[in-house]
Amino acid sequence: MALPTLSNFELMVMLAIIRIGDGAYGVSITSEIENTTGSEVLLGSVYDAVARLEEKGLIVSSLGEATPERGGRAKRHFRTTSRGLRVVRETQQSLVKLWRGIPQLKGGEA
């Protein structure tokens, strides 16, 4: 069965989930991406991405505990599947191959 494609943002979400490990949920994924990239990320975008990733079978989710600072609402935890890890690894290999042979980028020109 062919492996699914990953958009750049989906890849970032996957990497954030892998970096966080157990207990990755909406806020922590958003913070991880924001801290790493310096760009602001909306929760809705992350939830869109994780829904797509879940549909592709790259991550699974489960309901976690509720805390008072969340208004008593439960967290939804995400973790990667073995298939998801394989896709990330192969995407990394593809990117590394693409980077090889590219001259140093200067002033916005190749």
Partner 1 sequence: MKPRNAPAFATWLLNLFCSGPEHDSVVGDLTEKYQQHGGRFRYWRETFDILLHAIYCKVARRPLTSTHRIPVGSIFAVLVIFIGLAMVLLTGIAPILLIPAAIGASVALLRFLRHDEPSVALTWDAGRKHTAQGNPARPIASFSAPDVARINISTISIGGGMGAGILILMLLTAVLHDVPPLRILAVPGMVAGLVVAALLRFWRKRHPRDIEKEWISIRPK
Q: How far is the CB of 8 from partner 1 (least distance, A)?
A: 3
Q: Which residues lie below 8 Å from residue 69, measured CB to CB, with a gap of 6+?
A: none
Binding mask 42-81 for partner 1 (x = CB under 8 A): xxxx-xx-xxx--x-------x--xxxxxx-xxxx-----
The residue behind tokens 């593809």 is 94
Compute how many residues bind partner 1; rule: CB under 8 A.
42
Q: Decide whether 7 or 36 has the Cβ nearer to partner 1.
A: 7
Rounded to 10 degrees, what is the CA torsion of 22, 37, 81, 87? -160
Q: How far is the CB of 10 from partner 1 (least distance, A)?
A: 8
- The upper half-sphere exposure of residue 77, i.e. CA atoms within 13 Å in the direction of its Cβ, equals 13
In sequence order, what are the beta bridge partners of 79? 60
Q: How far is the CB of 104 from partner 1 (least distance, A)?
A: 20
CB neighbours (10 Å) of residue 74?
13
Q: Decide whether 73 or 106 has the Cβ nearer to partner 1.
A: 73
* Element housing 67 (H / E): none
User: Which residues of the shown chain bind partner 1 in the complex (CB under 8 A)?
Assistant: 3, 5-11, 25-27, 30, 39-45, 47-48, 50-52, 55, 63, 66-71, 73-76, 87, 90-91, 93-95
